[in-house]
């Protein structure tokens, strides 16, 4: 079999770290090749090397594409040869139409005047190819993420793509949209488009990939060919993390104490669409020393539920009650929620959790400035002492607490956010995707911190999209779907299948979210 | 791919590396001194004559006072284009109160300050609670209050004022030890200021050492203090040979110290920086972002009112043109002083030095007889150069 792409011994160094170390990647013509690896393993860096974001000369090793040595000096060079990347964050202009987006920078025009008829005709053809039945004049803004993804692919096809790279294409898609996208990938393969898919979802990898390369800590660990051998998810995971699944989660004795927080009949409406109920009659509770999980698909309302509780930071017409130690508490502002003993660690630490331009020290004390000040005057010595304490306790790897947070890795940033909330002295911590975007080692440390918190008798509510993580960490798991808590499982009875089946059953029984019925 | 944590700590680095990391801090001071020396030479020593130094303070006091408020507004992530108009309006209001209505000075001043705060509250209300961009709200305010001062003055100038009101700006602190020339108060104040600066510097340094903070090399510490204290005492000495310390200099210094303390050492200040740095994160940390934004504008309005009073007192008349385009000088001063347009960074002392740079440029070029046309061009280019320097530093680092 001929190969379209061969990356040989790629090594890429950043100051102080070797991001890629002798990585080899061979992609056969006309196949779908999956690249698997934990966050921070080097997948994105490898793709940036391939597409010319890191130009030739800034890395060691060779790229052979279509039988020739390729030396791209920027992304245009690689696009000219038909290598196109669709990134996780879609790069569409929301207020332009589908047609305008597809031909952005590549306009069908005569002497600078747009040829709309040609543009629309070509767009219609492309949309047909990707199976999207939308008017080319529709604004991107009015499309869901799944359809936007298809527009991106149509855009790639408009450029005569030979090698299509999809970075986590289904991360933000619903089950249905994901399936449609995978079907499209197989369809494109039949038409001869070689594809690379980067994905965490191993069932999807298994479904579409002809071969799989696993990368760990910047090195190629293994390459498997599905046409020659059976590829199991277990094997991919083992290669990805370098150890068996069983010890990915540190053990913790179950010891639920007295009741800490009870939320009852929580209802929330959408902040902009007043007729849309986002959370429906949700009730849940957390005991001291307990880690309670909330499972559910993306968009099921998990974040909306906890943010609407924490200072009513989301939604409108919120009703329901929150009790701490059996007493009703006022959580109408963030300040009051903190006072009541709550802390919320956001899923979006960069835009909601941290002030990136500020130092670690200033971030750590932000939610509890009175804790380091007297009558409104901050004691800088006290502030340094406190943040230094957290730096050591949390093992934040940085030379000093005066380092700007933006210079830290994802895992260390997350530890800063956790420090901030621990310093506010909460009884219940709500952790929203606490390990998103951080590497395996740091994940393990975060799990240990969670266990320590439970040991200290704090209640933890943990939202996660990674089901194994919930199964490995929680004492109890609530299952959420379409704005309602549809089930509750103890650690002993919970399994991935049970959770999924609760979600699926619910979809059949209940009307769809957002319906104005 | 996540980068490993960058080691940009100062420990164990060369002098050069330290300097490179703090070029902005030193650069501003060096720029001010260089500009002063330049004009001192080209004006044949006129710039640093006692009378001209006194004038420098009198001419720029209102800009500096407003720069304090503007820095806070800009750190909070907003802008205030109305300050020139508000300043003119309050000057007019004070004139009408004292001259047309015969109000006493002691009543006029507080009422005018409250009026300024109310104007700030008006702007702050729309910005903070309705989320209308400050640029638009204060652009509207700029037109409204320009119009209102014309209406209030009926297009005429109103003045003169009582001596006690003029003293706000043109008064001097009496010589407490009766030396007359040189003025004893000025010399004592100069000496005290030098001692205070060195003492606070040493304290800060000891504290930095104790907590392992980025440590300034001894050589830089000494050099910086010698230059700052030397310049300070030189200025005081010169002032002593004219009429001593202008009242307005005292108000300026007191306000600068108070605002520097608030922004750097209090929870209130820290929260304003957090608000400007990342409003959503600040809000989710329990900070009342709307209220702080509102207060930043109230404070700005009050300082603009104070500036208006001082300006009117100096001219001894309120004119319809007072404060025209002054907002641009104030905003320029803050950006020259290192504040960032996107909010969250900038220092009071930077804004003050920035205002002095603009002031010395104005004064020096006027002495040289450079036309107003070239003056504008040069000031514009200085602003661009200063901000370019910031951006360049940031991209490099």
What are the residues whose beta carbons fall under 8 Å from the beta carbon of A127, sequence distance 6 or more? A98, A133, A134, A136, A150, A154
pLDDT at A306: 95
pLDDT at A16: 59
Chain mean pLDDT for chain A: 87
Q: Which residues of B fall within a CB distance of 8 Å from A360?
A: none
| 3 state SS of A97 | strand
pLDDT at B76: 97
- Cα angle A451, A452, A453 (rounded to 5 degrees) comes to 90
As a dihedral over the C-alpha atoms of residue A73, residue A74, residue A76, residue A82, rounded to 10 degrees, the angle is 70
A403 contacts B5? CB cut-off 8 A: yes
Q: What mean pLDDT do residues A33-47 have?
A: 82
Q: Which of A165-174, A355-364, B382-391 has the lowest mean pLDDT?
A: A165-174
Of B206 and A40, which is predicted with more confidence?
B206
Smallest CA–CA distance, residue B187 to chain A, in Å, is 32
Q: Could you read off the pLDDT of A360-399 as tens digits, one per residue? A: 999 999 999 999 999 999 998 899 999 999 999 998 888 8
Q: Which of A116-125, A203-212, A230-239, A471-480 has the lowest mean pLDDT?
A: A230-239
Q: Could you read off the pLDDT of B339-392 as tens digits, one per residue? A: 988 899 999 999 999 999 999 999 999 999 999 899 999 999 999 998 888 888
pLDDT at A40: 64
Q: What mean pLDDT do residues A142-146 have?
A: 83
pLDDT at B313: 95
pLDDT at B77: 95
Q: Would you say A222 and A214 are in contact if contact means Cβ atoms under 8 Å apart? A: yes
For B208, nearest residue in chain A (alpha carbons):
A381
Q: Report the distance separating Cα B391 and Cα A256, nearest Å.
A: 54
pLDDT at B102: 94
> Rounded to two decimals, what is the model's pTM?
0.82
For B283, nearest residue in chain A (alpha carbons):
A334
Q: Would you say B229 and B222 are in contact if contact means Cβ atoms under 8 Å apart? A: no
A311 contacts B265? CB cut-off 8 A: no
Low-confidence ranges of chain B (pLDDT < 70): 1-14, 17, 20-21, 212-214, 396-397
Q: Report the distance separating Cα A411 and Cα A429, nearest Å.
A: 18
Q: Could you read off the pLDDT of B190-225 as tens digits, one per residue? A: 899 999 999 988 888 888 787 766 677 888 888 888
Smallest CA–CA distance, residue B270 to chain A, in Å, is 8
How far CA A286 is from CA of A193, A256, A330, A389, in Å, comes to 51, 9, 17, 28
Q: What is the DSSP string of B13-77?
A: --HHHHHHHTHHHHHHHHHHHHHHHHHHHHTTT-TTSHHHHHHHHHHHHHHHHHHHHHHHHHHTT
Smallest CA–CA distance, residue A234 to chain B, in Å, is 24
Q: Which residues of A fall within a CB distance of 8 Å from B274?
A: 355, 358, 362, 366
pLDDT at B7: 40
pLDDT at B187: 87
pLDDT at B6: 38
pLDDT at A122: 93
pLDDT at A501: 79
Q: Complex ipTM, two decimals? A: 0.87
- Cα angle A272, A275, A278 (rounded to 5 degrees) comes to 75
Tell me which residue in B210, B266, B282 faces A378 most closely, judged by beta carbons: B266
User: Residue A427: is its pLDDT beyond 80?
Assistant: yes
pLDDT at A43: 85
């Amino acid at each position: 079999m001929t190969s379209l792409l061969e990356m040989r011994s790629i090594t890429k160094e950043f100051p102080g770290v070797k991001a890629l170390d002798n990585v080899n990647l061979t992609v056969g013509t006309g196949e779908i090749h999956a690249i698997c690896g934990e966050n921070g393993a080097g997948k994105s860096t490898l793709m940036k090397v391939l597409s010319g974001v890191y130009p030739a000369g800034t890395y060691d090793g060779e790229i052979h594409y279509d039988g020739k040595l390729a030396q791209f000096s920027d992304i245009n060079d690689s696009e000219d040869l038909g290598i196109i990347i669709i990134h996780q964050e879609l790069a569409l202009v929301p207020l332009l139409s589908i047609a305008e987006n597809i031909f952005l920078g590549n306009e069908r025009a005569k002497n600078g005047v747009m040829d709309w008829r040609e543009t629309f005709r070509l767009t219609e053809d492309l949309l047909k190819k990707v199976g999207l039945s939308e008017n080319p004049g529709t604004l991107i803004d009015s499309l869901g993420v799944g359809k936007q993804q298809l527009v991106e692919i149509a855009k790639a096809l408009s450029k005569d793509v030979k090698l299509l790279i999809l970075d986590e294409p289904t991360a933000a898609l619903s089950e249905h949209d994901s399936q449609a996208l995978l079907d499209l990938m197989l369809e494109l393969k039949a038409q001869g488009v070689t594809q690379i898919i980067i994905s965490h979802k191993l069932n999807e990898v298994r479904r579409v990939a002809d071969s799989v390369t696993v990368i760990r800590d910047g090195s190629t660990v293994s390459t498997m060919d599905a046409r020659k051998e059976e590829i199991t998810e277990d094997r991919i995971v083992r290669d990805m993390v370098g150890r068996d699944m069983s010890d990915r989660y540190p053990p913790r004795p179950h010891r639920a104490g007295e009741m800490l927080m009870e939320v009852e009949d929580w209802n929330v409406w959408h902040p902009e669409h007043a007729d849309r109920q986002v959370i429906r009659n949700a009730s849940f509770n957390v005991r001291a020393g307990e880690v309670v999980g909330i499972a559910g698909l993306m968009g099921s309302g998990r974040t909306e539920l906890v943010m609407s509780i924490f200072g009513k930071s989301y939604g409108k017409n919120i009703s329901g009650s929150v009790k701490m130690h059996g007493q009703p508490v006022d959580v109408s502002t963030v300040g009051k929620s903190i006072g009541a003993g709550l802390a919320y660690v956001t899923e979006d630490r960069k835009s909601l959790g941290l002030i990136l331009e500020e130092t670690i020290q200033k971030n750590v004390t932000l939610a509890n400035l009175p804790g380091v000040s007297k009558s409104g005057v901050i004691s800088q010595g006290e502030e340094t002492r406190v943040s230094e304490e957290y730096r050591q306790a949390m093992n934040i790897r940085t030379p000093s607490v005066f380092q700007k947070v933006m210079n830290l890795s994802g895992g260390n940033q997350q530890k800063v956010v956790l420090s901030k909330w621990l310093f506010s002295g909460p009884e219940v911590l709500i952790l929203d995707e606490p390990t998103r975007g951080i590497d395996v080692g740091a994940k393990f440390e975060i799990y240990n911190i969670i266990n320590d918190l439970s040991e200290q008798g704090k209640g933890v509510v943990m939202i996660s999209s990674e089901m194994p993580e919930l199964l490995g960490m929680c004492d109890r798991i609530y299952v959420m779907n379409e704005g309602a808590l549809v089930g509750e499982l103890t650690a002993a009875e919970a399994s991935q299948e049970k959770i999924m089946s609760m979600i699926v059953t619910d979809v059949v029984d209940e009307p769809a979210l957002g319906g104005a019925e | 791919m996540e980068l490993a944590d960058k080691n940009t700590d100062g420990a164990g680095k060369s002098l050069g590396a330290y300097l490179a990391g703090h070029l902005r801090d030193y650069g501003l001071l060096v720029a001010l001194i260089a500009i002063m020396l330049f004009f001192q030479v080209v004006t044949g020593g006129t710039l640093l004559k006692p009378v001209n130094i006194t004038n420098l303070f009198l001419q720029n006091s209102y800009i500096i006072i407003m720069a304090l408020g503007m820095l806070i507004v800009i750190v909070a992530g907003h802008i205030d284009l109305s300050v020139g108009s508000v300043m003119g309006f309050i000057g007019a209001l004070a004139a009408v109160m004292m001259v047309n209505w015969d109000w006493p000075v002691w009543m006029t001043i507080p009422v005018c300050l409250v009026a300024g705060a109310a104007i700030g509250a008006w702007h702050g209300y729309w910005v903070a609670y309705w989320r209308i961009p400050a640029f638009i709200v204060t652009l509207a305010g700029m037109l409204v209050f320009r119009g209102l001062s014309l209406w209030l003055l009926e297009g005429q100038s109103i003045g003169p004022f009582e001596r006690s009101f003029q003293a706000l700006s043109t008064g001097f602190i009496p010589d407490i030890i009766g030396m007359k020339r040189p003025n004893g108060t000025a010399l004592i104040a100069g000496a005290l200021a030098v001692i205070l600066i060195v003492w606070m510097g040493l304290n800060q340094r000891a504290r930095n050492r104790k907590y392992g903070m980025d440590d300034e090399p001894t050589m830089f510490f000494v050099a910086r203090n010698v230059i700052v204290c030397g310049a300070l005492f030189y200025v005081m000495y010169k002032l002593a040979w004219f009429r001593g310390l202008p009242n307005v200099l005292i108000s300026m210094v007191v306000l600068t110290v108070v605002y520097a303390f608030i922004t750097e050492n209090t929870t209130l200040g820290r929260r304003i920086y957090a608000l400007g740095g990342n409003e959503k994160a600040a809000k989710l940390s329990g900070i009342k972002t709307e209220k702080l934004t509102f207060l930043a504008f109230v404070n700005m309005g009050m300082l603009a009112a104070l500036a208006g009073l001082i300006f009117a007192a100096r001219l001894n008349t309120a004119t319809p043109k007072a404060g025209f385009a002054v907002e641009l000088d104030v905003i320029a001063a803050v950006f020259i002083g290192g504040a960032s347009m996107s909010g969250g960074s900038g220092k009071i002392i930077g804004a003050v030095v920035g205002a002095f740079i603009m002031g010395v440029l104005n004064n020096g070029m006027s002495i040289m007889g450079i036309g107003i046309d070239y003056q504008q061009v040069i000031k514009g280019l200085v602003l661009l150069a200063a901000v370019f320097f910031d951006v360049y530093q940031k991209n490099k680092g």
